[in-house]
Chain A
């Protein structure tokens, strides 16, 4: 038995990787120690203080520069991009049947919406825990026919939807930069528009985490979420693509998710999912212009 173990070690285990990992941990540990004493933002990340309007907007312009030029025309407007959508778009209130031709695509937050939003019979859900924007179109989800699975792209090509709701971004907070994230997001939105030319696309801002979770010391921070959300809001053209941000409904004064609303600091408890659904029902787009 030992012999077999030994052979396995020689054959499969790459010592470099193991040592690299241990060193990375040690490094992270030392860094964590330092971080405990005094919070210092990572170099290169613009610091956002207390969700203050001015710096919020600055962060948004900062990160979305390259993509804004390619996908959102009004980027030059300046002002407060995060609140722009809410002010300019005349949203209407709708009922559950509005979602009859909707598809929800996203990570575990959308899984929560599927399980406890009460729309599982009405709308279509393409949700997978751990989904990221990088793998969104290739993610395999139940195809709706028996035990078969299909990729999100296949589902979007096979069926016509009136509305597409997106919610991804928390898993990839630690991957890439806000720029690469937003570039990929813009690309995915573009592809969805190709596949669903008549659909309204709702980009949902990433739901924030509790202050305690944000301060835990890993890549998941509300600063990171705010930064990416500011960029996401610029992807909206308010004609076909809209930006919705449910955070004001579920966050408290400090800017984080309300601790009572969640167990793990990340996911809304089932009893509060309806708040999110109601928000979506109050922020629906009424008349969609025909495609040229």
Chain B
């Protein structure tokens, strides 16, 4: 069930919140778990047993990893420590094996679908287990609370990835009130509009480009398509995260923000500190820093970064194009680290923006096109080194005419201006009315486009 589906908006959302609101505080966690499981099961029932088994195993692993052994003697302590370490290795390997199994099966096997949000679930679980092992968080004795942490439906599909200590307090006790519901709902509508009114619509241009075939697009057109894809990806993902934060707020959780106007960054390094922030932090906390971070010299730092980007690439997908994507980003980041030392480069203001806006769409193409041959054609056309076949001259003028307004709206949405305006005026009655209207416009769009998130499913 997608957030941007009629089932969710008009069926699950109101019903769940009415039932959740009626539940006494003591049982709210149970109600939340039931809701999350229903949400999960509506996608695919088959993966539920796997999920239950994984949860149970992780629950007991967490209990054992959290044994402090403080009261025992020194020898016992060491024994317990060794046992905990072995357990941690087992836990990490086991959880990763599950993820790798599903990814491999999807990519190379029968193409069977992965369980909903398995990548996020695994990372969330690993974060809990490692935190408990390190003593950064106490073990969770309640299975329901742990399940709520791992399966919280607002963030199940695509994040944000939350650390257990960050929402531990809210899992135990949280407020549920009209004020939170209202402000959460507003935030949700903002995310929904970004997804339905921007991402889904500008995505059509990208779809059209693929349908025509890259080899038949003029160079300006293929750049426009790449920018359209960049916008689609951002508003889709960011919209989803904003919806998740809004829903979390409605339930009484404060989920972290996942995006901070990434396209306003000046370096690729900065871009990935603003894009999918919680994933970046996860890799930083559990991979980069344990490897030594940037404290062991430039060479070691570059190697650590390579490791992080390799894993990031694999996390996104197992096809080789993701390795290219991660590799290019790694190269950019390493180069930026060196160039950044030059004072003259530091003073540049406009050029870095242009650099980013050129690099990011190119890397997104590596991200989007899984077929290497097609990727080569796309990049070849982007840089004008490949001869086109049956190219329609002026195709990009036509595209600009049809999508110009949408591009303008998307660009505006990428700046901090919209966010600032929202912060300033969100409690104004007029803005509230506008949000209500936006909500119903989104519902109307979704109905018009049918169950299909994209118009392109009509021929």
Inter-chain pairs besides A1-B435, A107-B459, A116-B390, 11 sampled, C-beta below 8 Å: A5-B185, A8-B436, A25-B7, A25-B451, A115-B392, A115-B395, A129-B455, A264-B210, A264-B456, A270-B216, A271-B215
> A203 vs B20: C-alpha distance in the bound complex, in angstroms?
58
Residues of B within 8 A of A1 (CB): 182, 185-186, 432, 435-436
Contact between chains at B213 and A271 (CB < 8 Å): yes
Contact between chains at B210 and A271 (CB < 8 Å): no
Residues of B within 8 A of A22 (CB): 7, 11
Contact between chains at A263 and B432 (CB < 8 Å): no
Query: Which residue of B178, B210, B459 contacts A171 across the interface (Cβ within 8 Å)?
Result: B459
Ranked nearest first, the 9 interchain pairs of A and B with the lowest CB-CB distance are: A270-B216, A269-B213, A130-B458, A270-B212, A271-B389, A1-B432, A108-B459, A263-B210, A267-B211
Residues of B within 8 A of A90 (CB): none
Residues of B within 8 A of A129 (CB): 455, 458-459
Of A11-19, A148-156, A193-201, A232-240, which stretch is located at the interface?
A: A11-19
- Minimal Cβ-Cβ distance residue in B for A106: B459
Contact between chains at B436 and A21 (CB < 8 Å): no
> A49 vs B271: C-alpha distance in the bound complex, in angstroms?
54
Contact between chains at B7 and A271 (CB < 8 Å): no
Residues of A in contact with B (beta carbons under 8 Å apart): 1-2, 4-5, 8-9, 12-13, 18-19, 21-22, 25, 107-109, 112, 115-116, 118, 129-130, 170-171, 262-264, 266-267, 269-271, 273-274
B442 to chain A, nearest CB (A): 13
> Interface residue tally of chain B, by bracket?
20 to 34
Q: Dominant SS at the B interface? A: helix
Residues of A within 8 A of B408 (CB): none
A287 to chain B, nearest CB (A): 32
User: Can you name 8 A-B pairs with beta carbons within 8 Å?
Assistant: A1-B186, A18-B11, A109-B459, A129-B458, A266-B459, A270-B215, A271-B215, A274-B390
The answer, yes or no, to whether B14 is at the interface (CB within 8 Å) is yes
> A263 vs B369: C-alpha distance in the bound complex, in angstroms?
12
Query: Which residue of A2, A8, A118, A130 contacts B185 across the interface (Cβ within 8 Å)?
Result: A2
Task: Say whether, besides A1-B182, A271-B389, A263 and B213 are in contact (CB < 8 Å).
Answer: yes
Contact between chains at A116 and B212 (CB < 8 Å): yes
Query: Which residue of B7, B178, B390, B439 contacts A270 across the interface (Cβ within 8 Å)?
Result: B390
> A98 vs B178: C-alpha distance in the bound complex, in angstroms?
70
The answer, yes or no, to whether B6 is at the interface (CB within 8 Å) is yes
Contact between chains at A4 and B433 (CB < 8 Å): yes
| Number of A-B residue pairs having CB atoms within 8 Å of each other in the complex | 88
Contact between chains at A12 and B440 (CB < 8 Å): yes
Residues of A within 8 A of B390 (CB): 116, 118, 270-271, 273-274
Residues of A within 8 A of B458 (CB): 108, 129-130, 171
Query: Which residue of B181, B207, B213, B215 contacts A2 across the interface (Cβ within 8 Å)?
Result: B181
- Minimal Cβ-Cβ distance residue in B for A21: B6
Contact between chains at B211 and A264 (CB < 8 Å): yes
Contact between chains at A267 and B11 (CB < 8 Å): no
A125 to chain B, nearest CB (A): 14
- Minimal Cβ-Cβ distance residue in A for B439: A5
> A262 vs B213: C-alpha distance in the bound complex, in angstroms?
8
> A267 vs B432: C-alpha distance in the bound complex, in angstroms?
43
Contact between chains at A270 and B392 (CB < 8 Å): yes
Residues of B within 8 A of A5 (CB): 185, 436, 439
Residues of A within 8 A of B435 (CB): 1
Contact between chains at A18 and B182 (CB < 8 Å): no
> A252 vs B137: C-alpha distance in the bound complex, in angstroms?
60
Contact between chains at B439 and A267 (CB < 8 Å): no
> A55 vs B456: C-alpha distance in the bound complex, in angstroms?
33
The answer, yes or no, to whether B10 is at the interface (CB within 8 Å) is yes
CB-CB contacts below 8 Å: B187-216 with A? 207, 210-213, 215-216
Residues of A within 8 A of B185 (CB): 1-2, 5
B359 to chain A, nearest CB (A): 26
Residues of A within 8 A of B6 (CB): 18, 21
- Minimal Cβ-Cβ distance residue in B for A25: B7
- Minimal Cβ-Cβ distance residue in B for A4: B436
Contact between chains at A19 and B11 (CB < 8 Å): yes
Task: Say whether, besides A21-B6, A170-B459, A271-B216, A8 and B440 are in contact (CB < 8 Å).
Answer: yes
- Minimal Cβ-Cβ distance residue in A for B398: A115
Most chain B CB atoms below 10 A, which of A107, A118, A269: A269
Most chain B CB atoms below 10 A, which of A107, A263, A273: A263
- Minimal Cβ-Cβ distance residue in B for A274: B390
Query: Which residue of A18, A108, A170, A266 contacts B10 across the interface (Cβ within 8 Å)?
Result: A18
Interface flags, B420-459, vs A, CB<8A=1, else 0: 0000000000001101100110000000000100011011
A239 to chain B, nearest CB (A): 31
Contact between chains at B459 and A9 (CB < 8 Å): no
B437 to chain A, nearest CB (A): 10
Residues of A within 8 A of B215 (CB): 269-271
Residues of B within 8 A of A109 (CB): 459
- Minimal Cβ-Cβ distance residue in B for A117: B390
A132 to chain B, nearest CB (A): 10
Residues of A within 8 A of B210 (CB): 263-264
- Minimal Cβ-Cβ distance residue in B for A169: B459
> A180 vs B181: C-alpha distance in the bound complex, in angstroms?
50
Task: Say whether, besides A5-B185, A18-B11, A269 and B459 are in contact (CB < 8 Å).
Answer: no
> A40 vs B459: C-alpha distance in the bound complex, in angstroms?
26
> A9 vs B390: C-alpha distance in the bound complex, in angstroms?
51
> A9 vs B439: C-alpha distance in the bound complex, in angstroms?
12
- Minimal Cβ-Cβ distance residue in A for B12: A22
Interface flags, B1-20, vs A, CB<8A=1, else 0: 00000110011001000000
- Minimal Cβ-Cβ distance residue in B for A168: B459
> A2 vs B440: C-alpha distance in the bound complex, in angstroms?
13
Query: Which residue of B181, B216, B391, B456 contacts A269 across the interface (Cβ within 8 Å)?
Result: B216
> A129 vs B458: C-alpha distance in the bound complex, in angstroms?
7
B98 to chain A, nearest CB (A): 23
Residues of B within 8 A of A115 (CB): 212, 392, 395
Query: Which residue of A9, A21, A273 contacts B14 across the interface (Cβ within 8 Å)?
Result: A9
> A267 vs B213: C-alpha distance in the bound complex, in angstroms?
10
> A140 vs B436: C-alpha distance in the bound complex, in angstroms?
32
